Structure 1
């Protein structure tokens, strides 16, 4: 996250989106999620200020998380508050767009058979690796889900 912030915190709008991204990661961690990966894409990882004459409006975020141990130990706990938190907080795309300006998608690693996981990874790779309008190749950013780095990233935003 600190490297991501250093590369992309180049304007007031971008800093605001990065703060929102870190807040989303903090929300995820409140239920015990500690391990996984996030892939960032969209106009945020492009130079849209030059190519389209505007600031990025959101960050596209695809999250792959390992379930917290408490849910692996108790399926009943997962069926109740665990699934409720996952569906209403982590995976609620509309809500996360409204409160964080993030376009979020999520996959629980333990819940996805290998073929579904591969299908999802291939889908998101194909979507994130090309520009929507021009189909030109572009990159995306992969960051481990490591909350310890988020404090450092937030401090960098505030110092810039």
Structure 2
């Protein structure tokens, strides 16, 4: 995360988006989602200011998350607390767009472990979407980040407040 902040936090607007990404990652940690990887994409990882003369509107985030240990240890908790947190906090795209300026998508890794074809399908889909520009279909890159609260705090300190 500090490297991402250093490379892409080049304007006040971009730094705000990065602070929002860290807030989302903190929300995940509060819900017990401390293991996983996220792929960062969209105009945020391009030089959209120079290419299109505008700021990036959001950050696209695709998360592959490990099931929180509390639900692995006691699966009966999932229907009462886990599912509502997952649906209302983790994958609610409209809510996450409004409060974080993030376009969020996520899958739970262990949930698909028994059916690896579904995980592979999702990875192939997101790779194909994230590896090309929307308008031109030109190849481009995306960024992979491991969930790491200590790294997030270091980046947050480097980004500073507003």
Q: Fold-level match, TM-score > 0.5?
A: yes
Looking at structure 2, the residues matched to 47 and 64 of structure 1 have their Cα atoms a distance apart, in angstroms, of 26
Paired residue for 2:130? 128
Deviations 1:96-132 (Å, cap 9, x if unpaired)? 0000000000001111120010000000000000000
Looking at structure 2, the residues matched to 109 and 80 of structure 1 have their Cα atoms a distance apart, in angstroms, of 20
Q: Displaced runs of 4+ in structure 1, greater than 3 A?
A: none
Looking at structure 1, the residues matched to 126 and 149 of structure 2 have their Cα atoms a distance apart, in angstroms, of 23
Looking at structure 2, the residues matched to 116 and 147 of structure 1 have their Cα atoms a distance apart, in angstroms, of 28
User: Helix, strand or coil for the counterpart of 1:75?
Assistant: coil
Looking at structure 1, the residues matched to 90 and 150 of structure 2 have their Cα atoms a distance apart, in angstroms, of 19
Looking at structure 1, the residues matched to 33 and 40 of structure 2 have their Cα atoms a distance apart, in angstroms, of 18
User: Helix, strand or coil for the counterpart of 2:20?
Assistant: helix
Paired residue for 2:48? 48
Looking at structure 2, the residues matched to 148 and 38 of structure 1 have their Cα atoms a distance apart, in angstroms, of 16
Looking at structure 2, the residues matched to 61 and 83 of structure 1 have their Cα atoms a distance apart, in angstroms, of 20
Deviations 1:48-68 (Å, cap 9, x if unpaired)? 000000010100000011011
Question: How many equivalent pairs are there?
Answer: 159
User: Helix, strand or coil for the counterpart of 2:76?
Assistant: helix
Paired residue for 2:13? 13
Looking at structure 1, the residues matched to 116 and 148 of structure 2 have their Cα atoms a distance apart, in angstroms, of 24
Q: Which runs of 5+ in 1 are unaligned?
A: none
Q: Which runs of 5+ in 2 are unaligned?
A: none
Deviations 1:20-55 (Å, cap 9, x if unpaired)? 000000001001111100000000000000000001
Paired residue for 2:87? 87
Shift, 1:148, TM fit = 1.2
Looking at structure 2, the residues matched to 2 and 72 of structure 1 have their Cα atoms a distance apart, in angstroms, of 31
TM-score, with length taken from structure 2: 0.96
